[in-house]
Structures are given as C-alpha cells and as structure tokens.
Amino acid sequence: MGDFVRVDRRQIQTAVLGSADSDEPLMLPMEAIELDAFRHHYDGDTFWCGSLLGGCGGQLTTKLYTDRVCHFAHHADPDGLPHVCGRRARGVNSADHLYVKAAAAAWLTDRGEHATFEYTRPNGVPLGSVVDVCWQHGALRVHLDQAVAPVWDDGVEPVLGTTVPVDRDTLIRRWYVHRIRLDSVGTARHVRIGTEAFARPIEWFALDECELTERGLSTPAVEKIVQARSVPRPSLWSPGKARKVPEPTARGQALLRRLVYARRIESVPLVKQVCGEIEDLAGVEGEFREQLEAAVRHAGIWLVEQDVERRKLFDNLKRAVAEQRPGRVRRLLIRVNATAAGDRTDVESAVYERAVKYFESLDDLTRDAVEAEADTEREARRAAARVRSALNRLRGYDAYTSGLRPLVEELLRSAASAGELLKGGEARRVEVWRKRVALGPQEQLHVARRYWIQRSCPRCNAEQGKHCVLVEGPSSGKPRKDGHVERLQLIVDERKAAQKTAQQQKEAGHQVGAPAGPMQPAPEACEPEVSPTRPLRERRPKVGREGQAQGAKKKIAARLHHQVPRGDWYRMVCPRCHAGPGKLCDNDDRVGPSEKRQLPHDERLRRVLQSDDRMGPGERQEGALEERQHQASQPAPANTRPPRSRRAGREPQETAGSAARAWHAEEVSCPKCQAGPNSPCTPHGPHHERVEWAKNFTRKLWG
C-alpha cells in the first residue's frame, strides 16, 4: 500500500477570491446563520486555497454546520483519496498579510502615494511573516510575527505585531515604536496602528487617523511624545511685546509634571532645564514654594546619582574595550546611546569613539557570535517576562492539580531559559512549584459547594460557612477559588461509608429473609423411584402483567408519604429513630437542611399503613411480614404503643413541610449567608443558592 500520508484535519477559515493567484482575501463566517448571507453575497464567485496563503492552489467550497464551526474545505478527489495540502496557517489570521496590503494600498492612494508591496521571506521564513511597503519618500517593514527580528537602523521603519517583543533600551533610544493589529469585524479584518513608548501604555488608532510626516509614519500619540521629549529653546523677552503669561501656581504645577516625566524617562538634560525654570519661577509663596524647593532638592540628589552612574558606565565601556569583550561592548554602547547620547565631555567622547571603532573592526565570525549572544539574552529576558506572567496567574493556587499542568510546565520551561534574570522571590516561588510537580498532581474531587461549606477545613482551619484561604505563596490568607482537597475528602469519605453501610444492611436483610437451610421431605414407608434430579435454574424476572404489577408496587412503595394522610404521619413511634408520637424523625441520613427530616422514615409510614383499618387482612399480613424482615436486625423500641383507630380531630403537630406542595426559599436555610428558615437573606435576598436548594428539596420530596 506504500507509505500513508498524514492528512491535515485543521479547519480552513480564509481563502482568496477568483483564482489561485489572487490577493483578495476572504474570511468565512463561523456561524451557520451568517454563512447563508455570505453564500448569497458571493453567489457565482469561486474560492481558492491561494498561493499567497501558502496553499496548494486548489479550489475550495464552503461547509455549513450547526453543531460546530463552519469552514472552507477542498473539493473531493475524483479517486476518493483525501486531499493533501501543505498549507501551514489556516486560522482567521492566516491572511493578515493580504489584508495589510489592501489597507495600506488604499491608505497611501488617498494621500497621493503609489506604493509597491513585497512579501519578504529571509532565510525561508513562512510566507506572510513580513510585508515590505515602499513608496517614493519612505518605506515600512511590517512584522506580523516573531519569525524575523526587526532592524532599527537601516532606513526602513519597522512596524511590529502584538507578539513581537521590543526591549527597554530600544524604546528609550527611539522614543517610540509602532505596533499593528488586525481586528475581526464581521467577515473582514480591520487594521489598527498603535504607538508604544517607554513608561506609556500602547495607544491604538484607526489607519485613517495616521499620517505621513518627515519622521515617517505618525499617529496622534507620536505628536504628544515628540512634543514632550523635545526641549524648546528659550525665547527672548521684548518690552514692546505683551503676551499672556499663566499664573505662577499653574506654571509651577506644569513644571512639576514635566520634572516627574523627565525623571521617568531618565533624561538628564531635561531634568536640569526644568530645575532651572523652577528656580527662576517668581510669584509663588508659602507651602507651594516649599513643595517646589523640595522637588528641586530631590532632583539634585538624583542628578548626582546619575553622574556617578554615568562615570561608571564609561569606565566599564573603557575596561570592556581594553579586555576585548565584544558582547559587553555592544551592550554598553546601547546604554550609552540611550542615556548619554548628548552633552558628552571630551573624555567621554574619546571613550565612545574608541569603543565604536573597536566594534566595527570585528570580523564577521565574531559579530555573528555577539549577535547570537544578544539573541540568547533577549530570549532570556522574554522567558523571565513569561515566568512573571505565569507566577501572577498562579497566585490564586496553593496546590498542583491536573488542570494546572500546561501552565506549570510553561513556567518551569521559561524559568530554565531565564536563568539568573529571575529575582530571589521569583526563583523561590518557581522552586515551590517544582517540588509540587515532583510530588504529582492532586486528585480533583467534585463536590458541590453547599456540601463542603458545612464542614471545617483541616488544612487552612476555615470554619463552617467560611471559604478556604490560601496557605502558601504571596497571596496567603486570601480566599481560595475552591475548597481544599482535604476538606472535600471528608464529604467523599462520608459518602463511601454511607454506601458501605447501606450495602451491609441490604445484605443482612436478604440473609434474614432467606430460609435457614434446604427443606427436606418427610420419610415415607415405601419410597418411590426418584427420577434424576434436574439442575436448579436461576430465577428469572417475571414478564407480562405480573411483572408490571411488581414494578408498580416498587414504585409506589418508594412514595409511602403519598399513601398515608399527612395527619397520620407522626401518629406512631418511629421504629428507626425512636421518635415519639407527634415528633419529627431525626435527620440521620442528611436529607434536608435541618436536624429533623421533612418526611418521616419509611419504616414509620409502613407501620402506619399496617395498622390502618382500610387494609385487608391479606395486605396487613403481607405488610407485617415485610416489616419483620426489614427490622429483623433493628432493636425493638422501648416505648411502643398498641395500634389505635383514627381520631376525628387531633392536636396541631410539629411539621417540617408538606408533601402536598413545593418548598419555598424562605422555608429552608440559606447555604450562602446561613440565614435560618423564615429569616431573610442578608444583605440582599433571597440568594440564588437558597432558591436552588428549595427546588432540590422539592425534587427529593416528589421523587
């Protein structure tokens, strides 16, 4: 038969319209109701697994499903064999590079620019990872994934996808970087451009809000960043010109905000300029003047610290060049360009020029090794970021379960790549999870909250009605999402013990009802010849009307409280819990929310039925026999009374509910706020859990 071909079963969500070489993308709706409208809109058109999508060039058809996602599919092979397609990307984002091209072409055309596009594939990366956009006055390189690392200093402005990382030094040196994302709107993908800066969140804009300037692609956020980072030249005052000057207090508040921003971006020249403007500010007195002077003093201390760090930086750069350590030279040069790009002294400029000349003189092999080391460092930083993200998501857990397996495995892999970049506390938390993994995952028990909340927790010592709290980690003492396994295990053990006891009682009842030994016939004077004995046959269940009658009897017997009038429920002593006449039965099998049962035990109801005058002699005899068999192993009650006839009128009796109607929420205890029967829930009620509990009692009551 030859080698079997593994068929890719992933669902295809994108295609191209018209032909296999088309660049017009389509995204299929996932819902059946939307697919009908899609088919009507593109009636007469053809869909293809296009070459620009990395597909096989075959024609596609639409598949409509109501129980799963709708998708494209290849036409069936004439020979009946499965169609083999080497297309890698098949999801909703697999045609994003075509959507980017279409959106960029329309945007540049509106601005009078004619652009060319190329889907670059350096080193054989997957098609669609990089899109190059070139026009007469500029160029962009769009990185949709991490397959190709961005280059910042070759004249082409990079635009990064949301998954492409960028380091802090690049943000500081370049002031900002552009991001791109595509949002699904119906059956289309809309392009949005974002601007990311150091110590600023990403701001997103529609493509129509962006413009082309001398700096390249610009968004409204870029204008604010450039205005904040640029230091305006002081203007000369002329006595002949009168201009409005803001009030001194408002001017001082604006200077304080600029000083905070300057220190955040670690701009020494801007901090010095703002401090000089604050010292020259006049017209401010009192407490606000003291606040301004304190800000200037703290800024002066910060400037001294920055001077010390700057001297250390250039000393380290000089030492790295002397020791011929290219990797360290590269890292220090990046820091110098980011923090000391201007206002260098002659000595600092000489050290910088010597370092640049040394780095440029390296051979290609050494440069490749340095770049590989830089890639390793970047990957370590990204791994450290993933470790922090995973630890943050694991803050609400203090035990390792099978549901946390993927997250914990990712944590341990990233921690191994991060190495020494993890802080002490992070490394200790990773080690705690490593030990938990070595012990194996805990069993996940499924017990409803209304049951385990009634028990105290042996691990965190949570009281009845209180949630479990975390006992390990930085969030220890905070409420846990679920109860501890030790707390749930108490309920599971009780259920197993109850099942075992019920099974033993059932077996004991069968043994009591069975005869002690085989019956032997009496000996006769003249014993006739006995035929060979036949093998015993197993008792088969009766079929027909007799079997149906027996099934109906069992069904009716399960609802004895429907056969006995409610006024006679508590007329006699209960042979099971020995509750006296007029008293409720003890809730020994935990049916209901209180210590007393809402319905009497079946043994008590059966005794009432046997003593009822309406039963015939045969029924009473059969009921008595069943009662004796059921209570053979039970102790006889001490305060039994002889049966008596029914009375016309009786005193009001204690009750816990009626079988003639459903239970209401106010008649049961609330499992959430622990409010008792006939008491309102606090602060707002009735709670949903109380209503559901009442419904559950009603279902149990009516079988």
Give me the DSSP letters along 266-318.
T-HHHHHHHHHHHHH--S--THHHHHHHHHHHHHHHHHHHHHHHHHHHHHHHH
CB 668 within 8 A of CB 568: no
Query: Are residues 151 and 51 located together in one domain of the fold?
Result: no
CA 458 → CA 26, 280, 352, 398, 455, distances in Å? 58, 67, 65, 15, 9
**The predicted structure's pLDDT at residue 526:** 41
Directed axis angle between helix 326-339 and helix 287-323, to 10°?
160
**The predicted structure's pLDDT at residue 1:** 36
- Tell me, yes or no, whether 690 lies in a domain: no
Q: What is the mean pLDDT of each run of 10 residues along the chain (703 residues)?
A: 42 86 85 80 85 86 81 76 76 88 88 85 84 86 88 85 83 86 84 86 88 84 76 46 62 88 78 89 85 90 88 89 86 77 80 86 81 82 88 83 86 88 85 88 83 87 86 79 85 88 83 54 43 43 52 56 83 88 84 77 86 54 54 50 50 44 76 83 81 80 60
Beta bridge partners of 63: 71
- At 570, which amino acid appears? Y
The Cα 60–Cα 76 span in angstroms is: 10
| Range list of H helices, 514-583 | 545-557
- Tell me, yes or no, whether 57 lies in a domain: yes
Cβ-in-10-Å burial (0-12, 13-18, 19+) of 329 comes to buried
Write down which residue in 90, 109, 131 finishes a domain: 90
The Cα 68–Cα 32 span in angstroms is: 9
- Tell me, yes or no, whether 646 lies in a domain: no
> What is the total count of domains within the chain?
5
Query: Are residues 256 and 185 located together in one domain of the fold?
Result: no
Q: Is 48 helix (H, G, I), strand (E, B) or coil?
A: strand
pTM of the model: 0.37
The Cα 337–Cα 358 span in angstroms is: 16
CB 689 within 8 A of CB 671: yes
CB 203 within 8 A of CB 219: yes
Cis upstream peptide for 686 (omega within 30°)? yes
- Tell me, yes or no, whether 240 lies in a domain: no
CB 179 within 8 A of CB 162: yes
Q: Look up the domain containing 596 and give its range.
A: 566-608
- At 283, which amino acid appears? G
Could you give the angle at the alpha carbon of 340 between the alpha carbons of 336 and 344, nearest 5°? 115
Query: Are residues 215 and 265 located together in one domain of the fold?
Result: no
The Cα 683–Cα 373 span in angstroms is: 61
The Cα 151–Cα 602 span in angstroms is: 82
Beta bridge partners of 241: none
The Cα 576–Cα 599 span in angstroms is: 13
DSSP characters over 587-616:
-TT--SSSSB-SS--HHHHHHHHHH-TTS-
Write down which residue in 343, 358, 381 finishes a domain: 343
**The predicted structure's pLDDT at residue 189:** 87
CA 383 to the chain's CA centroid: 20
Q: Is 361 helix (H, G, I), strand (E, B) or coil?
A: coil
Structure tokens at 440: 């194996």
Q: Give long-range contacts, CB 8 A cutoff, 24+ apart: 600-603.
A: 600/561, 600/569, 600/570, 600/574, 601/574, 601/576, 601/577, 602/560, 603/574, 603/575, 603/576, 603/627, 603/630, 603/631
CB 605 within 8 A of CB 562: no
Query: Are residues 171 and 122 located together in one domain of the fold?
Result: yes
- Tell me, yes or no, whether 217 lies in a domain: yes
The Cα 601–Cα 592 span in angstroms is: 13
Write down which residue in 295, 321, 343 finishes a domain: 343
CB 90 within 8 A of CB 12: yes
Query: Are residues 62 and 99 located together in one domain of the fold?
Result: no
Query: Are residues 152 and 219 located together in one domain of the fold?
Result: yes
**The predicted structure's pLDDT at residue 549:** 52
**The predicted structure's pLDDT at residue 83:** 73
The Cα 71–Cα 68 span in angstroms is: 9
The Cα 154–Cα 617 span in angstroms is: 107
- Tell me, yes or no, whether 235 lies in a domain: no
What is the number of other CB atoms lying within 10 angstroms of the CB of residue 370?
A: 19
Query: Are residues 199 and 264 located together in one domain of the fold?
Result: no
Query: Are residues 52 and 104 located together in one domain of the fold?
Result: no
The Cα 57–Cα 73 span in angstroms is: 13
The enclosing H or E element of 26 equals strand 25-27
- Tell me, yes or no, whether 415 lies in a domain: no
Query: Are residues 129 and 83 located together in one domain of the fold?
Result: no
Backbone angles phi, psi at 401, to 5 degrees: -120, 170
Query: Are residues 200 and 255 located together in one domain of the fold?
Result: no
Q: Is 247 helix (H, G, I), strand (E, B) or coil?
A: coil
Query: Are residues 201 and 267 located together in one domain of the fold?
Result: no
- Tell me, yes or no, whether 536 lies in a domain: no
**The predicted structure's pLDDT at residue 560:** 80
Query: Are residues 69 and 102 located together in one domain of the fold?
Result: no
